[in-house]
Amino acid sequence: MQLDNLVSSDSLEKEGWTALERSILYYKGRPVGTVAAYDATVEALNYDQCFIRDFVSSALIFLIKGRADIVRNFLEETLRLQPKERQLNAYKPGRGLIPASFKVVCEADEEYLEADFGEHAIARVTPVDSCLWWVILLRAYVVATKDFSLAYKPEFQHGLRLIMELCLATRFDMYPTLLVPDGACMIDRRMGIYGHPLEIQALFFTALRAARELLVCQGNEDIVTAIDNRLPLLQAHIRQHYWMDLHRLNKIYRFKSEEYGKAAANPFNIYADSLPYYELDRWLPRKGGYLVGNVGPSQLDTRFFCLANMMAIISDLASEEQSQAIMNLIEERWEDLVGDMPMKICFPALEDEEYKIVTGCDPKNIPWSYHNGGSWPVLLWFLSAAAVKTNRVELAHKAVEIAQARLHLDEWPEYYDGKKGRLIGKQARKYQTWTITGFLLAKELLRNPTFLPLVTFASFSVEPASRACEFELVEANTLYFG
């Protein structure tokens, strides 16, 4: 260990701030976002762009530090990139979508923003999470600045409405969850998370709650009613069908299959043999549990996904009891989920034949690397927010200490590889912005838990805009919180 290279927590934070400043993206002289990574040693690919999901971590720390202007500029510019017309061309992004990323292009002294809705991205993945993050961020901006006027602007109300229309549209399936293609979120490569992955459901739930606070009811009665109807159904569906603990494992183990009709105890027809019973039986602590990765017809993906579980705690998608059980699991299975770098994006990794079939032999997602069981420092802030929410801050402090010991020496990598997260990710960028902001945010949230409401909700959260249709609220709230 090079002792002289060890830095104190204070100077690490200073170093993080300097790197964050350097990552700010300017457009027509105004700061509008942050690049994904500022690593001059490798080809930029699209890491020199501002990713919507990555920027959320930057935005929250900017809001905490009073730099709301950048967040406001970002919200305005990305709203402009949102397609407003109904598209008949299947290769064009649908109305309401927010891009995965954007870049500033300079041509003949003219600057403009170019959006990527997945049409340039590797494997052409659809960024479903971007529009959900956008709504969540708009609400965080309003919470931080009390500047409701931005959200009430007609163009913002229109943008919100388009996102809600896109998410709440009638579809083929009859679940309250959102049906999406593979790689539609942070894990933006084929990883077997198509269908109804938990990460999308947790963000969807959070975005619905945020939109409910921001939408002016007048003129949006249909959407507001749709949100009020959807929230309790979505919450109950996830709490019931995605939950996994020893008690539930026992139930599933003895499930009958091929049950026809509405009264089925095993409505998704999960075949007991499809679950890794003996591993789960060994792994699940007596008092711990978590929300599984995905549920669908004869499908129960028992992998633990970190961002999804943390967002479920943060947004109240998980019940209080479930939230405590998730934190118990992290504590009891610390070596697996945190190890030498907080924290695993998912656990366990897909291996052997399963890895080949599910990832399509993706060399970047080999077992215990990148999205397939790699460790991502950005998840530190999600863990910290969940820890503050559940009064389990000691876990977050422990995790921050582990990260602190390495981030400077390792130059803030995007992710780590290996079962314990000891190896710097094979193709990880250095000076990855959300690694930096993940650490800074975790520090701030632990230092000052009053920042938590940027991402959490009061149990009865009805903001002024909603009062216009109070009659609907009474009914919805009886359902939802009653």
Residues that bind ligand GLC (CB under 6 A): 36, 51, 53-54, 186, 188
* 77 versus 188: smaller Cβ distance to ligand GLC: 188
Non-local (6+) Cβ contacts of 108 within 8 A are: none
Non-local (6+) Cβ contacts of 69 within 8 A are: 30, 31
Question: Do β-strands 101-107 and 30-34 pair in parallel, antiparallel, or remain unpaired?
Answer: unpaired
**DSSP-based three-state secondary structure for 363:** helix
Question: Please, what is the minimum distance in Å from the beta carbon of residue 188 to ligand GLC?
Answer: 5
Question: Please, what is the minimum distance in Å from the beta carbon of residue 239 to ligand GLC?
Answer: 27
Angle between helices 128-145 and 154-168 (to 10 degrees): 140
Question: Please, what is the minimum distance in Å from the beta carbon of residue 6 to ligand GLC?
Answer: 27
Non-local (6+) Cβ contacts of 66 within 8 A are: none
- Give me the residue label for tokens 């990574």: 37
Structure tokens at 27: 């457009």
* 51 versus 305: smaller Cβ distance to ligand GLC: 51
* 328 versus 359: smaller Cβ distance to ligand GLC: 359
Q: Does residue 164 have a cis peptide bond before it, meaning omega lies within 30 degrees of 0?
A: no
Sign of CA dihedral 424, 425, 428, 431: negative
**DSSP-based three-state secondary structure for 201:** helix
Question: Please, what is the minimum distance in Å from the beta carbon of residue 186 to ligand GLC?
Answer: 4
Question: Please, what is the minimum distance in Å from the beta carbon of residue 9 to ligand GLC?
Answer: 25
Q: What's the farthest any 2 CA atoms get from each other in the chain?
A: 68
The half-sphere exposure of 415 on its side-chain side, counting CA atoms within 13 A, is 25
Q: In which element (H, E) is residue 51 found?
A: strand 50-51
* 39 versus 54: smaller Cβ distance to ligand GLC: 54
**DSSP-based three-state secondary structure for 344:** strand
* 130 versus 323: smaller Cβ distance to ligand GLC: 130
Question: Please, what is the minimum distance in Å from the beta carbon of residue 413 to ligand GLC?
Answer: 12
Structure tokens at 11: 């100077």
Question: Please, what is the minimum distance in Å from the beta carbon of residue 424 to ligand GLC?
Answer: 16
Instruction: Name the residue with the smallest CB distance to ligand GLC.
Output: 36
* 189 versus 212: smaller Cβ distance to ligand GLC: 189
Q: Render the burial of 178-200: b for 16+ CB within 10 Å, e for the rest.
A: bbbebbbbbbbbbbbbebbbbbb
Question: Please, what is the minimum distance in Å from the beta carbon of residue 303 to ligand GLC?
Answer: 16
* 54 versus 301: smaller Cβ distance to ligand GLC: 54
* 289 versus 425: smaller Cβ distance to ligand GLC: 425
